[in-house]
Copies of this chain bind each other. A is one copy, B any other.
Amino acid sequence: MELWFSEFHTPDVKHSLRVDRHLYSKKSDYQQIDIYDTPEFGKVLTLDGNVMLTERDEFIYDEMITHVPMAVHPNVQDVLVIGAGDGGVVKELARYECIQSIDLVEMDEDVVSACRQYLPENACRLDDKRVHIYFDNALRFIRRRKAQYDLIIVDSTDPFGPSEGYFTREFYGICYNALKDDGIMVNQQGSPFYRHDAQAMQRSHKRIVSTFPISRVYQAHIPTYAAGYWLFGFASKKYHPIDDFDREKWLKLHLKTKYYTVRLHAGAFFLPAFLEEMLEEVE
């Protein structure tokens, strides 16, 4: 028997992974959660049929969404992570001794418990004593926080379905208010290649630009995401992602990474012409 998991990146493009075993399947209060074991990508977490992470390439996403802002902000102490119940972002954040507190707001408790059980290497730092997990609606949670965080990482699913509220102007506004005067917000910003994704990316970028004085987009190669090409938004009240990037300070931390490097840090912000044009259209 051949078992394959397929994801439609558009109605006309399909990415398929051979599956050894279907390890976990549950319809939670919010979404369909599945975990597969695959020969090429190891364990794979999908939500509503979309790949969220694989053991083989999660390092790219988790390193890029974490180390880029951490290498720019001079003194991150208080962090808020939205979504990311798999624990991958927390795993990277927990490597920084300067961080005193990580609030993780995940609406779906079942994601966290499934990942603790089946993806322990990803979820391994969720028990760090600095981590506080809130199973709550992120909008409600953040609305009550004012000038509290140095860094907010929005690691949501795509802006179609349950995470749609994390891509609105209102949401970016309450994130702005929850940040200190020199705070940074980083979010997953989708893929610029297929039209439907690109339009969502433009809408979201436009809203961030109108909320934060500094807003830049950076990129990474993520094989299991649409077109293998993923973007992150870097929104900031004070620090510029390249001009204020402290290369030497980051190197002194001696953090071993598999994707992020101090050279790649700048290179990730140098975007293809077609993407520069898309961003300029809405800036």
Within A1-24, the residues touching B (CB, 8 Å) are: 4, 6, 10-18
List 11 A–B pairs whose Cβ atoms lie within 8 Å, in order of A's numbering. Answer: A10-B40, A12-B17, A13-B16, A13-B18, A13-B41, A40-B194, A257-B273, A261-B270, A263-B270, A267-B267, A268-B270
Docked-complex contact A16 and B17, CB < 8 angstroms: no
Within A168-221, the residues touching B (CB, 8 Å) are: 193-194, 219, 221
Docked-complex contact B272 and A60, CB < 8 angstroms: yes
Interface residue tally for chain A (C-beta within 8 Å): 43
In the assembled complex, A227 has its CB within 8 A of some CB on chain B: yes
Binary B-proximity of A216-246 (CB < 8 A = 1, otherwise 0): 0001011100011100000000000000000
The CA of A227 and the CA of B12, in the complex, are separated in Å by 18
In the assembled complex, A38 has its CB within 8 A of some CB on chain B: yes
| Min CB–CB distance A229 → chain B (angstroms) | 4
Q: A13-B40, A14-B14, A16-B16 are in contact. List 12 more A-B contacts (CB 8 A).
A: A10-B40, A14-B16, A15-B15, A40-B194, A223-B227, A257-B273, A258-B272, A258-B274, A259-B272, A259-B274, A263-B271, A264-B270
In the assembled complex, A167 has its CB within 8 A of some CB on chain B: no
| Min CB–CB distance A235 → chain B (angstroms) | 20
In the assembled complex, A282 has its CB within 8 A of some CB on chain B: no
Residues in B with CB closer than 8 Å to A261 are: 270-273, 276
Residues in B with CB closer than 8 Å to A274 are: 258-259
The chain B residue with its CB closest to the CB of A221 is B229
The CA of A12 and the CA of B261, in the complex, are separated in Å by 30
In the assembled complex, A162 has its CB within 8 A of some CB on chain B: no
In the assembled complex, A166 has its CB within 8 A of some CB on chain B: no
In the assembled complex, A266 has its CB within 8 A of some CB on chain B: yes
